[in-house]
Structure 1
Amino acid sequence: MESRPPLPPFTPESAAEKARRAEDAWNSRDPHRVAQAYTTDSQWRNRSEFLSGREEIVAFLQRKWERELEYRLIKEVWAFTGERIAVRFAYEWHDHAGQWFRSHGNEQWLFDSNGLMSRREASINDVEIGEGDRKFHWTAGTARPADHPGLTDLGL
């Protein structure tokens, strides 16, 4: 059986660790790495798209990162209980025309006993920003540095 610690039931520390590990994986922009955190039959709602299983997750992420360039993400735990975690997040990216966006959202996560996410529900809104309004400054494709402020510290 696959296992992806930390495992439920979550504590404040383990929920924060789970969110940071998810953030680091998504910032890698490696669809296969990200998909390994989900059950093979994981159910997703991302905006208005509904996905089922790792293969659909990988295909979705490949499409996403082909259009969302220089993607950088920060996640923050909003609440948790037992096998559930709710996070808020923001990410910055630009399109092929060079227009920058900050996307704000909330996710609800449900984990199985092995720490794999079996359900993910995401609501997301995009806001156009100028390049000078960007707040996420680290090398794209890498984890957010430990000393880079989080969402609360950035006032987001």
Structure 2
Amino acid sequence: MHTRPPLPPFTRESAIEKIRLAEDAWNSRDPARIGLAYSLGTRWRNRAEFVDGREAAVALLERKWTRELDYRLIKELWAFDGARIAVRFAYEWRDDSGQWFRSYGNENWEFGDDGLMAVRLASINDRPIAASERKFHWPQGRRPDDHPGLSELGL
């Protein structure tokens, strides 16, 4: 059986580790890599889109990053219990016309015993911002360890 540590039931520390691993993967913008963290039968609600299965989730991510350019994400623990983690997040991106956005959201995650995410429920709102309002300036990829998180940024 393939496992994806940390495994449930989560402690505060293991929930934070799981969130950072997810953030790092999403900041890679590599849908195939990200897909490996989800069960084959994963179910998602992403905004108003409902997704069933890992392949459909990977396809959603491929579409996402054709329109959300220069994407950078920060996730933060909200709550956890057993095999569930609640996350708040913000990410910045621009569209192909150069308009920047900050997207704010919440995710509810549920994991199988193998540590793969079985359910992802995401509510997301986009706010147009000026380039001068951006707060996420690290090079594409993993957020540096010394970069402030959402709470430190006042988000």
Q: Give TM-score scaled by structure 2 length.
A: 0.99
Runs of 4+ deviating beyond 6 Å: none
Q: Which residue of 2 aligns with 1:51?
A: 51
- Mapped to 1, the partners of 2:108 and 2:59 lie a distance apart of 21
| Offset, 1:2 | 1.3
Specify every segment of 5 or more residues in structure 2 that has no aligned partner in the other structure, as ranges: none
2: distance between equivalents of 1:123 and 1:84? 16
Partner residue in 1 for 2:149: 150
Q: Which amino acid aligns with 1:58?
A: V
Q: Aligned runs of 1:75-154 on 2, under 5 Å?
A: 75-140=75-140, 142-154=141-153
Q: Give the partner amino acid of 1:86.
A: A
Alignment length (residue pairs): 155
Question: 3-state SS of the aligned residue for 1:153?
Answer: helix
Q: CA deviation at 1:54?
A: 1.0
Distance of 2:30 and 2:39 partners within structure 1? 17
Q: Secondary structure at the match of 2:25?
A: helix
Question: The residue matched to 2:59 in structure 1 has which SS?
Answer: helix
Segments of structure 1 that go 5 or more residues without pairing to the other structure are none
Sequence identity percentage: 66
Aligned mates of 2:51, 2:72 — CA distance in 1: 23
Structure 1 residue 125: Cα displacement: 0.1
Equivalent-residue separation in structure 1 for 2:41 and 2:82 (angstroms): 21
2:145 partner letter: A
How well do the aligned residues superpose, as a CA RMSD in angstroms?
0.4
Tell me, what secondary structure is at the counterpart of 2:33?
A: helix
Shift in Å, 1:107: 0.1
User: 1:21 — aligned with what?
Assistant: 21
CA distance in 1 between counterparts of 2:36 and 2:25 reads: 10
Deviation string, structure 1 residues 72-106 (Cα, Å, up to 9, x no partner): 00000000000000000000000000000000000
Q: Which SS does the other structure have where 2:57 is aligned? A: helix
Deviation per residue, 1:101-132 (Å, 9 max, x gap):
00000000000001000000000000000000
- Match of 2:7? 7
**Secondary structure, counterpart of 1:152 in structure 2:** helix
